[in-house]
Amino acid sequence: MKIACISDIHGNKLALDNVLSDIQKNGADKIFILGDLAMGGYDPNYTIEKLFSLDNTEIIQGNTDKLIVDYSSSLYENLHKVNPIMAGALKLDDVEIKDENKEKLKNLPVKKEVEILGVKLELCHGSPRKQDENIYPDMPLDFVEEAVKNSKADVILCGHTHIPCGYSLNSGKTLVNVGSVGRSMTADKMPVYLLISINQEGQFSFEHKKVKYDNKAVSKIIEKRNFKESLEFSKLYV
């Protein structure tokens, strides 16, 4: 069985469409979606509605999905003190995202356990213990072990940092950060997702897949979004 795992789409329609096309070409049977569906991109309603329309998916909530759901003027003000760019994007998204799509995000679980062909997988956004915890490449193994110690899964799948990486731990667990579709933090800023293969004997393997798309065009669209910090935000895409 092949499973595609995507995260951090952030309202980027063009990146999502290109990644879904690649997933189809690779013959994935299921898609795991690890949150941050909408905030900060140029078409948040499209990405929410598209992802919820797909068959054979498992979807969880990311930290920015929660920000959309919990939005208030005080939340905006507190976020603006530490990250004015993200606060500006969030304020506009609160206006643009349909109420029914906010409701979809609200009802998503924070994490989910799935078993496929005897392999136990846990889907989370940041880590099993915290929705917005960062799992970066080259972290101390002791830190990663501590982050997953309460998970009963063989494989833990996460996103959040927008940087793909993976750990084979001394506990026997495997943790993989799948990367980001909508606002990749790799050097070339191209979308990354994870392709998982599991055979009938319960053996599994992983491959991070990179997909090309016109990030410069998306950057120009983001620059023209109607919030004060849009120019600075657009630079994150190129």
Write out pLDDT tens, residues 163-177.
Answer: 999 999 999 999 999
The pLDDT score that the predictor gives to residue 213 is 98
Parent domain of 202: 2-64+108-216
Beta bridge partners, 174, equal 155, 168
Tell me: the pLDDT tens digits for 97-115? 999 999 999 999 999 999 9
Tell me: the pLDDT tens digits for 70-97? 999 999 999 999 999 999 999 999 999 9
| Helices 44-53, 84-96: inter-axial angle, 10-degree rounding | 70
The pLDDT score that the predictor gives to residue 186 is 97
50: CATH: 3.60.21.10
Q: Is 152 exposed, middle or buried (0-12, 13-18, 19+ CB in 10 A)?
A: exposed
pLDDT band at residue 24 using 50, 70 and 90 as cut-offs = very high
The pLDDT score that the predictor gives to residue 175 is 98
235 token code pair: 């630079």
Tell me: the pLDDT tens digits for 126-152? 999 999 999 999 999 999 999 999 999
The pLDDT score that the predictor gives to residue 15 is 98
**Model pTM score:** 0.97
Residue 22 counted as domain residue: yes
The pLDDT score that the predictor gives to residue 73 is 97
The pLDDT score that the predictor gives to residue 41 is 96
Residues 6+ apart with CB under 8 A from 109: 60, 61
Residue 147 counted as domain residue: yes
Residue 190 counted as domain residue: yes
Reported for 48-55, long-range contacts at CB under 8 A and 24+ positions apart, including other chains, are: 48/97, 48/101, 48/104, 48/105, 49/101, 50/13, 50/16, 50/17, 50/20, 51/9, 51/16, 52/104, 54/20
As for how many domains the chain has, the answer is: 1
The pLDDT score that the predictor gives to residue 160 is 98
The pLDDT score that the predictor gives to residue 50 is 98
238 token code pair: 């190129």
Tell me: the pLDDT tens digits for 170-214? 999 999 999 999 999 999 999 999 999 999 999 999 999 999 999
Residue 231 counted as domain residue: no
Tell me: the pLDDT tens digits for 44-73? 999 999 999 999 999 999 999 999 999 999
The pLDDT score that the predictor gives to residue 2 is 98
Residue 137 counted as domain residue: yes
The pLDDT score that the predictor gives to residue 146 is 97
Residue 78 counted as domain residue: no
Residue 102 counted as domain residue: no
Residue 80 counted as domain residue: no
